[in-house]
Structure 1
Amino acid sequence: MNIHLTKSQIGLDGVPAAETVLSHVDGERGELIIAGEHVSTLVRQSSFEGVTARLWNGASQSTLSEANIRASLGAARERAFARLAELLPATQGMGIVDGFRAAVAGLRAEHGLEHEATIVGAFPVIAGALVRRAKGLDPIAPDPSVSHAADTLRMLHGRAPAAREITALDAYLVTVCDHGMNASTFTTRVVASTQADLFAAVTAGYCALTGPLHGGAPEPVLEMLDAIGSRERIQPWVDAALARGERMMGFGHRVYRVRDPRADVLKTAIEALASNGADLPFAGEVEAYIRAALRKKNPDRPLETNVEFFTAILLDALAIPRQAFTPIFAVARAAGWTAHAREQQRTGRLIRPSSSYVGAMPKPFVA
């Protein structure tokens, strides 16, 4: 018998697929908890290395410290740089997003070393090398003595970043390092549930991230801001776009019914970068008008600002090329992906959902 499912059932909305200690998203309250703490608190009190320690400890019941993670990621970045000659040939002729996927697929286990650090350490090295190659420049060797955020910026730009730039990128890495059972994390856990290794699971997670409904959304936010162009064009441009039924990039979320809690965290980080060319007043006026217009259009369920809106502004202010936004997202999310893969392998079972068949049935057999 054919059973037709509702739209939310088809998308698995609200269907638990795993038990986790890693992160919790409450869409009704606009709340994100990562490893037992609100994301806004983590950004104020921790670093990417500190949050990564919390995630990996939760996943594997280990006792790693922030210092342990900083040292292991620094060493892993050095090892990844030494392997670039092996990783980059597979990326020839590809853009940054696709080249990153090809290079990540080439990562492999290193004898006696933690796979989690190998993966998370390699990601900014690969991203930096691809960005610089696109500019006709050689890759920059990592500095294991500095933070993950600082070294990511060094390898992208070939210079020592300012303290406010490091603080801003670190805030971004912490904010987006994990986010419940999103599409890429679910993909990672599905692959890990087969007992495939971490490298296969994380490669699959990155492939899911590249879709425009997931990690590919920040770049269109900047395209929208570019199209609006000036303050006097905000109202007519937005009104015309909404009249055509166009989607406002950076607004609305599959889970959050209120404002995405990550949006305000990143907005605060951007305020410290105003001198880097981020036109926060203009972006703020665009955000305010779009929110008002969406409330007017859909008073029962207005679309609120999501993390992509301020992600786009922050990464642009850090002079990160738009084509590299998705790989930089992956630099952060790799901490969550590796933790979820380990947790799934330790505590879960093979993820094998069923489907509702709605196709034709064979004719009854007649003897």
Structure 2
Amino acid sequence: MPRVVVLAGGVGGSRFALGVREALRRRADAAAPAPAASFTIIVNTGDDLWLSGVRLQPDVDSLLYALAGVNDTERGWGRAGDTERVNHELQEWGAGWPWFTLGDLDLGTHLARTGWLREGRTPTQVIERMSRRWPLGARLLPMTDAEVDTQVALRDGTSMHFQEWWTRYRATRESIRFDAPGIDASRPAPGVLEAIAEADVVLIAPSNPVVSIGPILAVPGIREALRATAAVVVGVSPIIGGRVVRGMADVCLRAIGVETSASAVAAHYGARSADGLLDAWLIGEEDAASAAGVSALGIRTAVVPLWMNDVSSSAALAEAALATADL
């Protein structure tokens, strides 16, 4: 069984993680989930926040719920079948954010997390404890145990938490920069560098390159570990046919001066042979014409179906990524 590490965040990361788990399960030819020891997910924690006295980790929870099979697939976030009584009560008190919905089951997760953090446990320890509840078939690691919540610098000179910019304003307020105060002094969470060093393949999920993958790469030591690992580093394009699949990644890319195209994102990550990160890059059939340009960057390119409509198609994409790494 190959040792697989995935860098992920958001809905795209969750869907891809399900596909990787299924692909590994099929390779093992077993009914049970793939052994967690062979599959590690390094999760973005840049969009974490404190709200109404509790600590939220949106990307961690999205992956946790998806792997547990309890996620709300309709909304793309939160728990399936959740209710919002507590959220409405908070709004009656004028607490929290009226445009940021917290389900009751979801709040249970946040309360448990907050209690353990206040008892002195680290985010890594909290996630490990949460992972015991369900057979996830993967080991979840935060990118860092430090609080490095993303702030969005706006054209008008003000700034706000990423979640307010993303959820309340739907990324419509013009951004010029994404900051993560304290990230330069942060360190990778325990196990992160070891997982990368010991991997057979590192997969960069089709997550938002700027606010999901970007914070992971900004933690000192992680980018260097990716450049040094003996593993093949394979990225999956989050752009299909010049469009984002979900969310507002195009707005984020525009803010950092990157075109919304599969080839431009590949260039943004760069070839490992030229001090970048990628050995290989998967692009959609809709972008086949750009394959030669990506290859010219020194990145091996594979043209495959990228749409993840269900677990089967996600698994096919994951298998294509593993095959591109010659595994």
Instruction: Give the TM-score taking structure 1 as reference length.
Output: 0.27
Indicate the structure whose relative CO is greater, using CA pairs within 8 Å and at least 6 residues apart.
1
Q: Which structure would you say has the larger Rg?
A: 1
